[in-house]
Amino acid sequence: MNVHDNDSPNEQDTRRFTGRIRLAYQNLLDECSLLEEALLEQSSLIQAQVYMLPRFDDNDVGVTPTTIPVTAHQGEDALKLALSHIKSFKLDEKHSGRIIKRLPGVIVLSHPQALSLLQRMATINLKKAELHKLIIDSHPDKNKRFLQLVDTLPNLVKLKAFRGVLFANRPLYSVGFTWKHRQSRQKLSKRNLIQLLDKTLEYYASYQPLSPYNEIVQKEKALISQYPATSRFIMARSLRVSPSMNLRYLKETAVHIDGLKAPVDMIAHSPLFVFNQDVKLHPLKDYSVEDARPPRALPNPLVIDRLCVYEDSRGSAGRA
């Protein structure tokens, strides 16, 4: 008799989830190790530069920085930091888990089998996507998924594990770094927005019944209730300023790998790997709020200032 034969259906589901997630995670780690071995065995360094940002703690969450100093590392030191970064998925106790650690940079290598390395990187990104899907499909409730994942892989930072390895799959002329203020935009129906406000009210009723925000959210809900049922809204929240890469390509045929595109602008969360090319590099400078260009505000009517919710003029008829 199996020791688990008397387990409840929930216990059996949890055990299956744990087994699948741990296996998928181990497969991802194995692929990262194989990539590191392949890079170190036959590659020679053309140029490498990464930019370390300051450590952020939880006191920095929600605070708009006025300056962010950058520390540049070059050569073998930069390569070592890059390889460590792409397989670092756990929480760094000295760094806030709410501000994901970034390591912008470029690693340019010479390798006799560059295509095989590109394919290996694509495989790693596929493994990341598979792990992400396993977790999403494990339970419809986001909170229960989170608790299951914490029990299965303690201290895993999901975004670190899910974000892809960055690499150039077509010839580059230059890579330039800059700082960008981005926005997170989400389209919401009236029903979606009411549900969001109801969840906030439930939270305050359970944990902070005397909070002044309770009354504020009630007023926001009353305001949204005046809109027609078919109304549409846009939540446009400013994100923390982050490094960005601008890629300029040579007019040559791209290396074709299924499912891959050649982006022009991307968030520089990790070093970009480039093979068998001489790339012009424009380095990342220290951030200064005086030099930054904030995102453009939406021209739409602002509805809820606290949540940065605007009317979607294409699908909203205004208040009744």
Percent of the chain clearing pLDDT 90 (strictly above): 52
The fold adopted by the segment(s) 9-182+239-289 is: Replication Terminator Protein (Tus); Chain A, domain 1 (3.50.14)
pLDDT tens profile 306-318: 888 999 977 555 5
Q: Please report, for the chain, the start and end positions of each structural domain, with discontinuous segments joined by +.
A: 9-182+239-289
* 191-195, 237-241, 284-288: range with lowest mean pLDDT: 237-241
Say which residue the tokens 């891959």 belong to: 260
SS3 content of the chain, % helix, strand, coil (to 5): 40, 25, 40
> Can you read off the two tokens belonging to residue 226?
């005046």
- Rounded Cα gap, residues 212 and 193, in angstroms: 20
Residue 85 CB coordination number (10 Å): 19
pLDDT class for 259, splitting at 50, 70, 90?
very low
Report the 10 Å Cβ neighbour count for 170: 17
